[in-house]
Amino acid sequence: MHLPSIIREPAVALIGDQCYTSLVENLNIYDTACIKYAVSKGLGLGIVVGGSIVKIPQILTILSNHSAQGLSLTSYVLETLSYFITLSYNLRQGNPFSTFGEIMFICIQNIIILSLIFYYGRQVGLLASSLIGFATLLYCLNDTSIVPQVMMSSLYAATIPLSLASKVPQIYSNFVNKSTGQLSVFTVVNYFAGSAARVFTTMTELDDTLMLFGNALATTFNAILVLQVILYWNQKKPTTNIDKWNRLHRNDKSEIDKLKIAKQSQNTRFVNLEEGEAMIEPVQQTANYFHTFVIPNYSEPEALLKDTISKLAVHRTNYVIILAMEASESGWEQKGDRLRDYFAGRFHGFIITGHPVGTPGEYRGKGSNVNYAVRNGCATMIEELGYDRRQIILTIMDSDAAIPELYIMEVESALSKSDDPYYTICAPPIFFSRNCNEVPASVRMADITWAAMVMSNLSNSDGLCVPCSNYSLSFILAERVGYWDVDADAIGEDMHMWLKCFFKTDGHARTAPIYVPINLTNVQVDGYFANLNARYVQAKRHFQGVADLGYTLRHMIISYKNRKNQKGLLDCHMATSGFYDKLSACLVILEAHMIPASSGWLMFAAVPLMQLMLFPPFPWMAITSPTNNPLLTSDFFYKLWTVVKMITIFLPFPLFGTLAIYEGLHRYIDKNFYQKPATRTWKNCADYASLPIAAWLFLTWPSTVACVKRLFSGDDAYVVGAKVFKEEEEKERLS
């Protein structure tokens, strides 16, 4: 292959004539030496390019603010001295520019920052003397008569412990606090990637043990920081919130005591939960919002609904309850009236709605029930009870969700910090701890995996986090996007509503993660295999939400076509997001539905099946002769097959790491937030042995079935997950 000289000459200058001829002209993909060299050069140039702009944002910030306040002069001086020594060492060693070029650019940027610090600090005299001093230092370091080579090597060696010592206190602090605090994830990961790449480029292009040792040590310490970020990332916010809550309410009664007081005082108008005495006046909301809880249900045990609402009744603040019943449930009106009478005077309002049967164009499910309940319930609040629509915050919850008071406090905090609270969707992690010891291990593991994936989804820094089951949003946002969709494609009500809010506001609506776990119940019925079947039925319903992928693609394309004119439902002064954000949202949805449908097949079927076909244990099982087997006749395909097998082996490890983090967090929340006695012991580690069964039965297979069914017409019936609530045990627990 012969390329134009404008491409050939830079390529030859980069990798040399021999490697260019081998890799480009002869397309020799088996020349490992040249491939390593080319990769090393590419990595080196990438690091150099990154280093050339790494501090530009800091320089622009100083210039825009006309101030260098908060920047440490001492730190920048020491850092610049260290970089000058490293730069001079590489220059004197004659190392290729690609192995140290970023150091030169960082030195230049540091000099600019130091100059700005002196300039805005009104120290022009020091600025001039410092520039002269740095120029003199650079000259001396590169003059062998002033600084001999032995001294130069000693100076370079001295910079290694200095740069590494700065990481040890950070690592120790992270370990002690079990948190990385405000440590920049972007910076840590990039330092690790850069130092790891430098190890490779040094090994490939240089024969310098000192540089290799320094880069290897830096990579090791950076790897420890990356590992700490991974380990503490998802648990730092929940544990911090819980610790803060416990410090502020250390004298509060326990959750069980509160429920006892609530049940004993159900005939009084309001209850002081601290003393257990009846109050004359209700506790009114002092914030700018009226929190309204929408509880959709169909044939749920009345005791379960009573317990769920009781957990809201013990909060210090009064709310409005919208009990969203289904008219198809026999006796729904009497059931709703009993619950309203039971909690008489305990809430600011208790509204019951009955979603009618057979509405044209509607698909039976949570979304259609919530849509009806919000439309009619909020109409009652606004038109009859005089609520301000701008103050209504809707919390959509499952009938088994135990929502703690801390969640409401964190929602209020998130809304107060948001640039536009009306376009903020609050999403908490979910947590299965109400009946987890009463279900099969595989069901328990499926829900643990589900909860861990939901929690990891909340770490999206762009606010593209999909809520699961329970979430809060303003009535203004729900009204402006046209409430909830009710067709069959909107069966995944939580994800679909988030997508609708995102696209209908042209990307302005974003998610604020609320790091307070919402405790749910596992699907539970009598009988081991019946319980497995009930969880499978629930999984099939969950993955019917794959229709949201088509919804996302359609609206992403529409957004791209209308990108010049589209303003969504926003006022003209509001900034909207670009096409990149729509693409990112599409990738989030693709990840949620395609990974469960593909990873299980790859791990459990694809590779083992191919191994059996291409390397059968018995001759009679052979599909092709050895002479026609590409893995035996082609070194390239054999190496490719080896890579695929290695990927398959290591594919589950990120999941295992996530589950290990979740296990520790689960124990912490049970002990410190719910004050539950420790029930999980080391023998519960055997639960993880059921993970392959749980992953295949409750993730891979139902997601695959849902994807295939999208190719055919027809809708599946909406089946509510079976949940058991043993009222007798609950009464015994509270007695």
pLDDT greater than 60 at residue 56: yes
pLDDT attached to residue 278: 35
pLDDT category at 1 given cuts 50, 70, 90 is low
Q: Residue 57: its pLDDT value, please?
A: 72
Q: What is the pLDDT of residue 715?
A: 60
Highest mean pLDDT among 221-235, 525-539, 563-577, 668-682: 525-539
Cα separation, 492 vs 22, whole angstroms = 54
pLDDT digits (tens, 9 = 90+) for 714-731: 665 555 555 655 554 444
Cβ-count burial 69-91 (b if 16+ within 10 Å, e if not): eebebeebbebbbbbbbbbbbbb
Any idea which of 61-75, 93-107, 276-290, 592-606 has the lowest mean pLDDT? 276-290
Two structure tokens written together for 625: 């002769």
Residue 574 pLDDT: 43
Q: What is the pLDDT of residue 614?
A: 76
Stretch 182-195: mean pLDDT, rounded?
62
Tell me the three state secondary structure of residue 107: helix
Indicate whether 73 pLDDT > 70. Answer: yes
pLDDT digits (tens, 9 = 90+) for 352-373: 999 998 888 888 888 899 999 9
Tell me, what's the pLDDT at 202? 76
Cα distance between residue 160 and residue 81, in whole Å:
13
CB 474 within 8 A of CB 420: no
Using a 10 angstrom Cβ sphere, with 0-12 exposed, 13-18 middle and 19 or more buried, the burial of residue 672 is middle
How confident is the model over 457-473, as pLDDT tens digits?
A: 888 878 889 999 999 99
Cα 142 to Cα 148, 155, 210, distances in angstroms: 9, 12, 19
Angle at 413 between CA 408 and CA 419, to 5 degrees: 130
- The candidate with the shortest Cα–Cα distance to 200, out of 216, 187, 220, 223, is 216
pLDDT given for residue 182 in this prediction = 44
**417-462 pLDDT, tens digit each:** 888 899 999 999 998 888 888 899 899 889 988 888 888 888 887 8
Is the pTM above the cut of 0.75? no
User: Alpha-carbon distance 558 to 503, whole Å?
Assistant: 10
Secondary element (H or E) of residue 596: helix 579-601
CB 422 within 8 A of CB 288: no
Comparison of pLDDT for 265 and 702, the residue scoring more: 702
* Position with higher pLDDT, 334 vs 106: 334
Q: With a cut of 90, say whether residue 393 has pLDDT above it.
A: yes
Closest by CA to 641, choosing from 629, 652, 653, is: 629
For residue 512, what are the β-bridge partners?
Answer: 426
| Averaged pLDDT score across all residues of the chain | 78
The backbone region for 231, taken as left when phi is positive above 0, alpha when psi lies in -120 to 50, beta otherwise, is: alpha
Three-class SS state of 624: coil
> Mind listing the pLDDT tens digit for each residue in 266-287?
433 333 333 333 333 334 444 5
Question: What would the two tokens of residue 471 be?
Answer: 């979430």
| Of the candidate ranges 25-39, 191-205, 251-265, 538-552, the one whose mean pLDDT is the lowest | 251-265
Tell me: pLDDT of 253 over 80.
Answer: no
Q: Model confidence at 131, in pLDDT bands (50, 70, 90)? A: confident
Q: Percentage of residues in the chain with pLDDT exceeding 70? A: 79
Contact 721, 537 (CB under 8 A): yes
